[in-house]
Amino acid sequence: MSKHDAVEVITTKRDGQRLSDSQVDWVVDAYTRGEVADEQMSALAMAILLNGMDRAEIARWTAAMIASGERMDFSSLSRPTADKHSTGGVGDKITLPLAPLVAACGVAVPQLSGRGLGHTGGTLDKLESIPGWRAALSNEEMMAQLESVGAVICAAGDGLAPADKKLYALRDVTGTVEAIPLIASSIMSKKIAEGTGALVLDVKVGTGAFMKSVDRARELAETMVALGTDAGVRTVALLTDMSTPLGLTAGNALEVGESVEVLAGGGPADVVELTVALAREMLTAAGVTDVDPADRLADGSAMDAWRAMVAAQGGDPDATLPVAREQHVVTAPADGVLSRLDAMAVGMAAWRLGAGRARKEDPVQAGAGVVWHARPGDAVRAGEPLLTLHTDEPARFERALASLEGGYDVVPAGTEVAVGPIVIDRVG
């Protein structure tokens, strides 16, 4: 007989008490094996959302999720490893230029990434818009590519933290995604099991992020940094702005094109700034301090690493990227200055155009998305293009336009528009 049962664990947390180590170990294992039912885990997740967990409890929960599967080990590689995780945003293509940039600086990047859900884009969906590129690699292929190229972006295998995969899908349909202990343990169980030596977290704040307030984002960042540190992974977090979408594009192939511009030494200033800031943090955490990543963007070696990384996974780095069949231009309503472009509005529009999915099994359109022709602080002229919407299905334009209503403001020329910093704070 088990010394625990699901109802006892649920009521402990329902009544605001801390779960014992053996309760945590038992319930995560029993849920993974199917002994604890989804409705019971749903009740526990809601109790955790409402009553929280302390640091030791979250650490134990994370350890139990790691113990549900395999652990990877990169100690045999000839160079140190560092990884980055973003909590998700709009136009957040940073992983694409970042992984090859850090590889070009001598640190291997094992980037296990996911697919988009809702208004946040998925790194794998973006890369799959490159003809031939494949997300699924065996552990052996991943190790070989890390040794030869220095960077890999691929899907996590089913063996890493299977408890998380099950629990994540459940949280998504039970209104418990926002629970900080569950967000933190979900992210960190996968990253610790992945075996990276150093980890940099990009915790997004603002309208287009899960965390709308700096205080909540800082709490999440501090929780995750503590989990990583306690597990022996050098972990730091940057709090970065996601009230305005990143760069000038949201959508799969559109963001790949923008990433290639960055690797070619151009691209939007905010994307370059954040990519270089995260690269410096990853290199420092991995113990490499004698290389400036900005130099590797300038000298073309980051682009060389990108081409090698794409080709190693079957992609053609010279292929023409897919373009949506239909476009619709939104023009500026007046002369003046763009004072606001709301990340959530743009993300919802891109999603409704076909760039994202409502359910895990939905397909995405490679060419769908939004391009904006100005960023906050830029001058705009009445009647000139402000946004261009891309989709293969023109019936989608109406709902995308509806999500953009109220999503941007134009103020009279000469009005002072305050544009805040992209990196708000550092935790670590």
Tell me which H or E stretch contains 307.
Answer: helix 301-312
What is the CA 273 to chain-centroid distance, rounded? 17
Reduce the DSSP state of residue 276 to 3 states and report it.
helix
335 is catalytic: no
How many Å apart are CA 324 and CA 248, to the nearest integer? 17
- Out of 42, 186, 243, 259, which one is annotated catalytic? 186
54 is catalytic: no
- Out of 85, 166, 296, 390, which one is annotated catalytic? 85
How many Å apart are CA 372 and CA 91, to the nearest integer? 11
171 is catalytic: yes
> What are the φ and ψ backbone dihedral angles of 77, each rounded to 5 degrees?
-70, 155
Those residues whose C-beta lies under 8 Å from the C-beta of residue 15, and which sit 6 or more positions away, are: none
Question: How many other CB atoms sit within 10 Å of the CB of residue 78?
Answer: 9
Edge-to-edge, what's the strand order for the sheet holding 82-86? 82-86, 198-205, 234-241, 423-427
- Out of 190, 234, 296, 352, which one is annotated catalytic? 190
- Out of 84, 93, 115, 171, which one is annotated catalytic? 171
- Out of 164, 202, 241, 342, which one is annotated catalytic? 164
With CA atoms as reference, report the closest residue to 103 among 167, 37, 153, 60.
153
With CA atoms as reference, report the closest residue to 70 among 221, 171, 153, 190.
190
Residues assigned a catalytic role: 85, 164, 171, 186, 190
